[in-house]
Chain A
Amino acid sequence: MLERLAGTLDFQAQALALRSERQRLIASNIANADTPGYVAREMDFATALRQATSSSQSTVASGGNRLATGSATLLASTEAGHLAGTGSAGGAAPLTYAVAAQTNLDRNSVDMDRERASFADNTVKYEATLRFINGQVRTMLSAITGQ
């Protein structure tokens, strides 16, 4: 019973966790805009969310907690310039390399315009996810109170 109530929030909770991870990733790119040799990273959000929710659905079905601890980290290659790899052990989200629009003399591949745009985009979508969660909580509360 309680799992059903919590389960409705599960998808949005996963999305929120991934959004915050992407926010941190873009912040890292912006922070390293002047670091020589830094390679900008990007997250394939759709794949990451699909991975996280598919692994969490099995844990929810068995009554477990939602955190995707066992999901394997794979680097998705969505563009021609992306490299194949197995990814880091810690992160649960698939990371790709952002291909720079212009090359830099110090081999830094951060494109500040794109990063700023991605940051704003991610901020809005994070807030949207928060509002979805708040809406679902309100729906459940009104169902519980029965008014």
Chain B
Amino acid sequence: MGMMSIFNVSGSAASAQSQRLNVVASNLANADTVAGPDGQAYKARQVTFQTQLVGELANDATAAGVRVSTVSEDQTPGRRVHDPKNPAADAEGYVTYSNVNPVEEMVNMISASRSYQNNIEVMNTAKSLLLKTLQMGQSG
């Protein structure tokens, strides 16, 4: 059923992009958290997208949606700041902060929101075309 699956395609993409936006939000929220009692600070997370065929027919490349395949953690060591008065400081007086890079996250956020908007626009266009198709052959 031709255009109906556009909603599946763009809907899956919008959902994947919103998950990416969610991850960006938690990264930014944890940008300044320090190491917990286990000595492990928050690690920045990143989503990876994967194509998912959503058409009624298998191998139909014209209906390719998106899903989040993995959420991976950035393994680079966190920022270490010398602050002996901080209760979270280790024996040498260093505090380990999370490894979130706020600039990177902001760029990621803008990219995710633009892609989200693109998909919503595609859905709106498809909807108006389908509504016009429903009125096919009617006079007026």
Chain A residues near B (Cβ < 8 Å): 16-17, 20-21, 23-25, 27-36, 38, 41, 43, 88-91, 93, 95, 112, 116, 119, 123, 126-127, 130, 133-134, 137-138, 141
Contact = CB atoms under 8 A, between A and B. Distances in A.
A28 B125 contact: no
Residue with the greatest number of chain B CB neighbours at <10 A, chosen from A28, A31, A137:
A31
Contacts of A21: 2, 62
B85 interface: no
Given A17-B2, A27-B10, A91 B61 contact: yes
Residues of A contacting B: mostly = helix
A23 B1 CA distance: 13
Residue with the greatest number of chain A CB neighbours at <10 A, chosen from B65, B129, B132, B139:
B129
Given A31-B64, A130-B136, A23 B126 contact: yes
5 tightest CB-CB pairs across the interface, nearest first? Answer: A31-B13, A90-B57, A20-B2, A28-B64, A35-B49
Interface of B: 2-3, 5-6, 9-10, 12-13, 17, 20, 48-51, 55, 57-66, 111-112, 115, 118-119, 122, 125-126, 129, 132-133, 136-139
A96 to B, nearest CB: 11
A41 B112 CA distance: 22
